Structure 1
Amino acid sequence: MPENPSAPAPSDALAERIRATGARATPARIRVLELLTAAPTPLSHQDIEGALGSASLDRVTLYRVLDWLVESGLAVKRADERRVWRFALAAGGTHHGHVHFRCETCGRVFCLDAPAPRPPKLPGGFTLARAELDLSGRCAECNAGNV
């Protein structure tokens, strides 16, 4: 089936998301947002640098782009148990409303195909901003030699 020629290219749609925040859609912002959109798991700064490869931004620019994406609400930033910051697409993307599993051996983070549990009832006057559930243990690859 032929593609719809009037449909925006993925990078055009991401540029529009960036412009909707009132900011310029720079090539660096688009490239990093593209990467976060396609990532199956949250990525560290180092993961992003490696994934960008020869098209990599300098370290400072990448930090600034990631900070801007978080400040603008397009990405989320969470520290794992090793205190490594990991970035993912914000609500409405692939990293919203599910559970993460963090391997204590290799440090990788896996998105589980399970909805996050309901938060507990809060006392009067409390307002929940967000709820996260991170499980930790050993992934299948790290357990392969320990049967």
Structure 2
Amino acid sequence: MGRINRSAEDALAMIRKMGLRATAARVTVLDVLLSADHALSHSEIERAVETTHDVVERVTLYRVLDWLVTQKLAHKVVGADRVWRFNATPTADHAHFNCTRCGQIYCLENLTPAVALTLPEGFSLQHADVAVQGLCPHCSR
């Protein structure tokens, strides 16, 4: 893979720590997700890869994103525009903030107060999605 930057080293280490095969495409895409400050659509990831890394074919990109989600190295969330966006975050359970003006989606790691769910008897929670909508810092200026 040659000389790689710090976030690419982090991506490589994350994949290897899980005992998984670290292909160039997997490291590249995870590097892009780790470097982003918000969740990215497929086309945004594709553009980022093209400008900062070697080219990753479109089908390969779809497969890598699915693989990263399956391995829990990334997650996906659908925006109000029904476009899937991907992000790599250190915690699995968190909320998402969707900017109603620009459409960007941000992961919110620590919400205070935390959202609590009480399920009826017999139900078992496996995953909860909490979406908050409003204006991001850029759009609220």
**Superposed pair shares fold, TM > 0.5:** yes
Check if 1:100 corresponds to 2:96.
yes
Q: Do 2:74 and 2:88's aligned partners in 1 also have CA atoms closer than 8 Å?
A: yes
Cα distance change, pair 51–10 in 1 and its aligned pair in 2 (3 A): closer
Cα distance change, pair 11–138 in 1 and its aligned pair in 2 (3 A): closer
Root-mean-square deviation (CA), in Å?
2.5
Structure 2 stretches lacking a partner, 5+ long: 1-5
Between the aligned residues of both structures, percent identity stands at 41
Deviation at 1:104, TM superposition (A): 2.4
Q: Do 1:119 and 1:131's aligned partners in 2 also have CA atoms closer than 8 Å?
A: no
Q: Distance in 1 between matches of 2:137 and 2:8?
A: 34
**TM norm structure 1:** 0.74
Query: Quick check: which has more Rg, 1 or 2?
Result: 1
Q: In structure 1, what is the equivalent of residue 3 of structure 2?
A: none
Q: Distance in 1 between matches of 2:22 and 2:109?
A: 32
Question: Aligned residues, how many?
Answer: 133
Q: Distance in 1 between matches of 2:73 and 2:21?
A: 14
Q: Do 1:98 and 1:113's aligned partners in 2 also have CA atoms closer than 8 Å?
A: yes
Structure 1 stretches lacking a partner, 5+ long: 1-8
Q: In structure 1, what is the equivalent of residue 55 of structure 2?
A: 56
Partner-residue secondary structure (3-state), 1:134: strand
Check if 1:78 corresponds to 2:61.
no
Cα distance change, pair 17–141 in 1 and its aligned pair in 2 (3 A): closer
